[in-house]
């Protein structure tokens, strides 16, 4: 059985095209797969032993549902977030995948694939080898990650990353019962059956993969392996929302000042062209608006990394509209040179004008004394009458 990786190895970038898919191992029949032979022999023996135990438990009737459930205890714990695997919560495992080393990992860091939408412990059955293996499956925004488990050292072992645009999934029902398994197939992987802990877990996997696949298919022309290539330009609402979450989690090069996680919620962001009065030519910038700051970022040509370009205090800047009919405004402030900003769509232009236009300041002095109270008319008449001489 072999392992197919879609990560790049021969250059310093993450651009991966169909002609660059590296075949790490291949069997005699030339079938590509996610690879199930990276575990040690002891791990394989333990998996076969668990399989025999589950089949024997399923054949023996028991009055209690938990005794008749053939799903291993580790998978059953996926139903709550307190103990998904190795006594760790799902959130803790996600942080571990992002920031801790994974054995035999290849390609760019895990955080470059974007947000982890879902993960769980599953059983993978290969239709080709007829083998069953325990895996921890992780769903990113546009990629599916397979991790093998080393129970003795409690470590993840990298098995491969597959783009969702090249996968198809379908639920599998047996004997008319509620299904808890689905099938994964595609041109880069042989057909595999995934057995989940419960029908709810299966349904979440199928729905999530199908939804993300529809979005990934629209971006097939972009061959970059980074999630930024799917989100930039952020010309749709769902892209903006996912890009907000990505910026709050992924590292930003040459960052200065307060961490981005402490700057508050992001109100608006978009990709624009800027022209400085002292420079020639325009520059592409990602404007990100926070409650108190406007952040200027840049994205590299390969859509792999984000670089810090500066920040402006929101109360010290103002947007001035330019010529009517053009999606341009001038960003001015007391401590900055005027910056001409060109938007790509009317919606972004209207949003920036709404957020950055401040009301004109009134130069007339405002008295702090309250206005005198109005005297009622009746009382005023009686007062005038009392002043008439007798």
- Contact in structure between 211 and 73 (CB atoms under 8 Å): no
pLDDT of residue 205: 94
Can you say how many angstroms the Cα of residue 88 is from the centroid of all Cα atoms in its chain? 22
Instruction: State how far the Cα of 57 lies from the Cα of 68, in Å rounded to an integer.
Output: 6
pLDDT of residue 371: 56
Residue 131 buriedness (CB in 10 A; 0-12 / 13-18 / 19+): middle
Instruction: State how far the Cα of 376 lies from the Cα of 371, in Å rounded to an integer.
Output: 15
pLDDT of residue 80: 41
Domain topology for 232-356: PH-domain like (2.30.29)
Q: pLDDT by residue (tens digit) across 142-152?
A: 889 999 999 88
**Domain map of the chain by residue range?**
4-217, 232-356
Query: The pTM is what?
Result: 0.46
Evaluate whether 4-217 and 232-356 have a shared fold. yes
Which residue from 60, 148, 143 is spatially nearest to 103, judged by alpha carbons?
Answer: 148
Task: Give the chain's end-to-end CA distance (angstroms, integer).
Answer: 120
The CATH architecture assigned to 4-217 reads Roll (2.30)
Residue 17 buriedness (CB in 10 A; 0-12 / 13-18 / 19+): exposed
Q: pLDDT by residue (tens digit) across 56-67?
A: 444 443 433 333
Coil, helix or strand at residue 279: coil
Q: CB-hemisphere CA count at 13 Å for 240?
A: 14
pLDDT of residue 311: 92
Per-position DSSP letters for 79-124, written without gaps between them: GSSS-SBTTB-HHHHHHHHHHS--BT--SS-GGGG----EEEEEEE
Which residue from 131, 163, 122 is spatially nearest to 20, judged by alpha carbons?
Answer: 163
Q: Residues in the chain with pLDDT < 70?
A: 1-82, 174-178, 187-188, 218-225, 278-280, 358-390
pLDDT of residue 140: 92
pLDDT of residue 195: 92
Instruction: State how far the Cα of 149 lies from the Cα of 155, in Å rounded to an integer.
Output: 6
pLDDT of residue 261: 84
Beta strands at 168-172 and 4-5: parallel, antiparallel or unpaired: unpaired
Instruction: State how far the Cα of 275 lies from the Cα of 298, in Å rounded to an integer.
Output: 14
């Amino acid at each position: 059985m072999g392992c197919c990786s879609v990560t790049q190895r021969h250059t310093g970038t993450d651009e991966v095209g169909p002609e660059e898919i590296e075949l790490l191992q291949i069997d005699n029949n030339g079938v590509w797969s996610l690879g199930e032979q990276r575990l040690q022999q002891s791990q394989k023996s333990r998996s076969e032993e668990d399989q025999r135990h589950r089949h024997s438990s399923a054949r023996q009737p028991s009055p209690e549902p938990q005794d008749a459930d053939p799903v291993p205890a580790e998978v059953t714990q996926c139903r709550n977030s307190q103990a998904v695997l190795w006594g760790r919560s799902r959130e803790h495992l996600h942080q571990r995948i992002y920031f801790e080393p994974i054995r035999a990992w290849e390609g760019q860091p895990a955080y470059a694939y974007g947000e982890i939408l879902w993960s769980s412990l599953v059983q993978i059955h290969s239709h080709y080898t007829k083998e069953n293996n325990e895996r921890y499956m992780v769903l990113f925004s546009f990629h599916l990650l397979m991790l093998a488990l080393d129970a003795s050292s409690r470590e993840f072992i990298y098995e491969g990353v597959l783009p969702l645009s090249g996968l198809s999934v379908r639920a599998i029902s047996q004997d008319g019962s509620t299904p808890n398994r689905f099938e994964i197939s595609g041109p880069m992987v042989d057909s595999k059956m995934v057995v989940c802990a419960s029908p709810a877990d299966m349904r979440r996997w199928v729905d999530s993969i199908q939804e993300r696949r529809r979005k990934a298919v629209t971006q097939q022309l972009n061959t970059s392996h980074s999630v930024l290539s799917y989100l930039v330009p952020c010309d749709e609402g769902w892209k903006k929302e996912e890009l907000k979450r990505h910026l709050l989690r992924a590292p930003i090069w040459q960052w200065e000042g307060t961490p981005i996680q402490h700057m508050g919620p992001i109100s608006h962001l978009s990709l624009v062209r800027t022209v400085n009065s002292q420079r020639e030519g325009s520059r592409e910038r990602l404007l990100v608006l926070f409650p108190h700051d406007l952040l200027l970022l840049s994205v590299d040509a390969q859509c792999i990394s984000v670089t810090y370009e500066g920040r402006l205090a929101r109360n010290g800047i103002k947007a001035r509209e330019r010529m009517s009919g053009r999606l341009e405004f001038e960003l001015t402030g007391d401590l900055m040179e005027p910056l001409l900003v060109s938007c790509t769509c009317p919606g972004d232009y209207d949003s920036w004008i709404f957020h950055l236009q401040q009301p004109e300041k009134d130069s007339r002095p405002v008295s702090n004394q309250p206005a005198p109270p109005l005297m009622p008319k009746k009382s005023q008449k009686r007062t005038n009458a009392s002043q008439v001489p007798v």
